Amino acid sequence: MKINRIKNAFTLAEVLVSLTVIGILSATLVPVLYNNMAKESMVMLKKAYQVTGKAVSEMINDYDKYPDEDKGFTYISETKSTPATTGADFCTNFASYFNKTYYNSANCATEYGTKPEPFMRTSDGMKWYFIYNKDYLTTDEQYGYKIIVDVNGTKGPNCQLSTLGHCTSGGNFAVGDGHTCVEAVGAGCDHPDTFIISINRKGRISAASSYWAGNAGQEPYDAKILETPTKLSW
């Protein structure tokens, strides 16, 4: 008796067609997914700016956190009669306006020149870092407080892009916690997820700027300067 065997293998032509289709789909979908990740980071960055502005505005309108309109956040130390020499009080008050899943007040005392660790993680997954420069806490022209936020938390790529020297030369705003920081487009962080928000003693908030001066230049990812929150009159 002759037995007819059914052949289940693909022909070479079928394999080649399948590989071609897979290649086309990959070439089409991978850039879309990559761009969606970048857009998601920008959406979260805008959210970080908005909630930062809201928190700062709330602080300005709270006498215990902003007792002197002329002297600003500099005088939110315990005595309120002498200027604070650190940014720890500002950071602690700032954190009080957020729903947190993690908080470590010890990381609110990070001075310029030291890589910060996260002082809080918010319920939306963002990780927040803080640096202050004690030489710039008493001036209106410069930004003494730096809020650095990883907008997607533990998700990748966990990198900062700074073309203004923030990583090493004159900046040192690179965070620890396993992050990388590059100073040139095309150097491995074309779609960053970690950004700097600058705040001066009067509550003015801006995109990251060169070194500590608010008017020395803007980062390429956002050149907008947010409106200064205003103190309400009662």
> What is the reported pLDDT for 172?
63
> When comparing pLDDT for 210 and 83, which is higher?
83
**Tens-digit pLDDT profile for residues 156-175:** 888 887 766 667 644 567 78
**What number is the average pLDDT over the span 184-208?**
80
Q: Indicate whether 212 belongs to any domain.
A: no
Containing structural domain, residue 47: 12-207
Q: What are the CA-CA distances from residue 146 to residues 31, 37, 105 (Å)?
A: 33, 25, 16
Residue 127: per-residue pLDDT: 95
Average pLDDT of span 92-121: 92
pLDDT computed for residue 183 by the predictor: 75
Q: List the one residue out of 181, 97, 193 whose CA is nearest residue 154.
A: 193
Is residue 144 in some structural domain?
Answer: yes
The answer to whether residue 219 is domain-embedded is no
Least confident of 100-104, 202-206, 221-225: 221-225
Q: Provide the mean pLDDT of the chain.
A: 74
- Residue 60 falls inside a structural domain: yes
Mean pLDDT calculated for residue range 136-143? 79
Phi-psi region for residue 188, left (φ > 0), alpha (ψ -120 to 50) or beta? left
Q: What is the dihedral of CA 209, 211, 216, 220, to 10 degrees?
A: -40
Residue 7 domain-assigned (yes or no): no
pLDDT reported for residue 118: 93
Residue 128 lies in a domain: yes
Specify the range with the lowest mean pLDDT, choosing from 3-7, 135-139, 164-168: 3-7
How high is the pLDDT of residue 98?
95
Q: Which amino acid is at 115?
A: K
Residue 225 belongs to a domain: no
Q: How confident is the model at residue 80 (pLDDT cuts 50, 70, 90)?
A: low
Domain assignment present for residue 52? The answer is yes
The count of structural domains within the chain is 1
Kindly tell me if the per-residue pLDDT of 135 is higher than 80.
yes
CA–CA separation, 125 vs 140, rounded Å?
Answer: 32
Percent with pLDDT over 70 in the chain: 69
Using one digit for the tens of pLDDT, what is the confidence trace for 41-69? 878 888 898 899 899 989 888 877 887 77
